[in-house]
Amino acid sequence: MKQIIYAISDSSGETATIFSRSMLAQFPKLEIEQKRFSFIKNIQTLQDIFVQAQKDHAIVFYTLNNPEYDPIVKQLQQKHQVLAFDILNPF
């Protein structure tokens, strides 16, 4: 089985990428394809990513410092039924 992982960030995306790799290393038999989306600068880009994540059945790990993105990502996560984890603000 192949699992697609998205690492999304409004910066380089390195933290989301490393974190997701370390989490998924606990499942050595799982084949992983990772896609990084860095330097996100607008809401339309986030929407496009979540549309594609739904099609790919991807799991999303994200680090978004812009506070206006937080409620938007939560809405997109529900709308597109995508499992997404906020690494910077987990609670």
Specify the pLDDT at position 48: 98
Please give the Cα distance from 3 to 26 (Å, whole number): 14
The arithmetic mean of pLDDT across residues 57-70, rounded, is 94
Give the per-residue pLDDT at 79: 97
Residue 28 pLDDT? 87
Rounded mean pLDDT of 46-57? 98
Rounded Cα distance, 63 and 56, in Å: 20
Q: Is the pLDDT of residue 53 over 70?
A: yes
